[in-house]
Structure 1
């Protein structure tokens, strides 16, 4: 199933006239306007500058802009996943002067209607949030799963020296030290492991792979999407896994010059194994970096505090914010 992002604007249905909005499909020429609208979004950790071109080329995705009097004021992206059953909503942003006016809701409803009209087999709308969910949210959405979010920052050169001083098993009690190093999975091993529900049922939270804020069911079509990305896949034991983790390769973010973002999703409940894989990712992906790094780690909520304490006291990195949660929610598309 494909959604072509080259849909002519003339084929889009019109927005309700009372909103004063016009909807168009995003193009390369809209990039500067989108970036101007998005200044300081996500605390300077905006991923869109590095992904916008890829989004426009993604045949399973459509990126819609809302305009007011011809000016771009909002963006929403939808991607079809889960063998065509799920509309993944991401990338929402609204211009500062238009926030709190209901623009996001109108845009989301428009995107839902557009996708449902073209692809009637789509049954669910899924998105990932990090703001507190209230009673009204649970009237609209089902909670699929949640992870604790640990955000830290450091200079790559400093952390590299610190990790070399501490050695490979720092922070892991001697009686809990794994006998083997984490295993890097190649594409065939990823397919074999993550599509085996019996092996992964105790590892993946509610049978969901959440990679850099994108939630996927463990299906062959979704694995194909993930394998097109630059991801480092680790597992403690490919034959009988307890913990697995996915790490994005570092990319630049607009928080400042020479700033990079590193995203590590950890699944499983064994703290020692999780810490071992976390350190392995840090060693591999900071070894050649020069500059500042924002590292966001997602873990089972009970592991958040011991990992945060370890980062602060042992690694000597700065914790950026207190405990927050990444929540995957879902609603029916009607």
Structure 2
């Protein structure tokens, strides 16, 4: 579907902007080959994205061929546009295509969703200083990337002990939808001091702690946990595992950590692993996003106690924002 002309949008005589459809899938996968070190989520999300309410997946074409992709997703009750999935074909990188496509998408959002006030996105710490000047840094999280074999882990999960602590806290709580609303999505509520800038950052997607995001997050079939419903010290959100191109039978497991309770984080990690690992047939790339101060002790626990392989050293996830 060719997009309508948008008043004030940038023009480029060589580029055609269209909404993505199923038929471009193979072009997108080919164009994105090798991105994120084999952890590309787009092949698993593409088909659902193009039919998702309040999401636009826009392609830039040159000579009839796809050379770039960008998605804009409207959240926070229509106040925020999330920029996601930016891809530029290798042979077109460094030519300004990404900037032209982003400006077009921003104008399209303003045209279709006039209530949007800000654009938000998450990036890793490979951003250049020049890129950072375009945005406000809203929050930072440490990224802990690990690898393990799911069948091997499943065979010994029941025997994995937690290191002894000064006290034995109650077991972590698996949250139901009503708990999720009260614990995570009431601004100024229970997690107000744990969430980075009142934001639930889930699998690279930032959502303000607003009840209006409840149904949107519920559709994602997430696994939510906390160590306490009244005064939690730590809460976690786990994305259902999905296949990634890192290797045959390789899956990606994403866990976002909010708060500073180290023992609670370990317990909730083990609970998430026990819920998903037995159903997975091969290797798992597990990415934990957590407060920077927790990176080292959790890395030590995962490698020395759980026997996971540390894929890389400390890196950071940035939550960025700019006015629309």
What band does the TM-score fall into relative to the shorter chain? Answer: over 0.9
TM-score using structure 1 length: 0.92
Q: Say if 1:76 and 1:90, in contact at 8 Å, map to a contact too.
A: yes
Q: Say if 1:85 and 1:122, in contact at 8 Å, map to a contact too.
A: yes
Give 1:250 shift: 1.1
Q: Secondary structure at the match of 1:74?
A: strand
Q: Which moved more, 1:187-196 or 1:321-330?
A: 187-196
Q: Say if 1:162 and 1:315, in contact at 8 Å, map to a contact too.
A: no
Question: What pairs with 1:1-334 in structure 2 (closer than 5 Å)?
Answer: 8-13=1-6, 16-17=11-12, 20-167=14-161, 170-171=162-163, 173-178=164-169, 180-196=170-186, 197-333=188-324
| Alpha-carbon displacement from aligned partner over 1:235-263 (angstroms, at most 9, x marks no partner) | 11112211110001111112221111100
**Separation (CA, whole Å) in 2 of partners of 1:239 and 1:259:** 38
Q: Say if 1:12 and 1:23, in contact at 8 Å, map to a contact too.
A: no
Structure 1: give runs of 5+ residues left out of the alignment.
1-7
Q: Secondary structure at the match of 2:50?
A: helix
Q: Secondary structure at the match of 2:133?
A: helix
| Alpha-carbon displacement from aligned partner over 1:51-104 (angstroms, at most 9, x marks no partner) | 112111111100000111111011000000111111100001111111111111
Give 1:10 shift: 4.7
Q: Say if 1:55 and 1:61, in contact at 8 Å, map to a contact too.
A: yes
**Separation (CA, whole Å) in 1 of partners of 2:86 and 2:121:** 10
Q: Secondary structure at the match of 1:181?
A: coil
Q: Secondary structure at the match of 1:136?
A: helix
Q: Say if 2:182 and 2:190, in contact at 8 Å, map to a contact too.
A: no
| Alpha-carbon displacement from aligned partner over 1:145-192 (angstroms, at most 9, x marks no partner) | 11100011111012123333323xx23x331432x1110111122112
Q: Say if 1:245 and 1:267, in contact at 8 Å, map to a contact too.
A: yes
Let me know the Cα RMSD of the aligned residues: 1.5
**Separation (CA, whole Å) in 2 of partners of 1:176 and 1:107:** 54
Give 1:273 shift: 1.3
Larger fraction in helix? 1
Structure 2: give runs of 5+ residues left out of the alignment.
none
TM-score using structure 2 length: 0.95
Pick closer, same or farther for the CA change 1:302–1:100 going to 2, 3 Å. same
Q: Secondary structure at the match of 1:245?
A: strand
Q: Secondary structure at the match of 2:279?
A: coil
Match of 1:4 in 2: none
Give 1:143 shift: 0.8
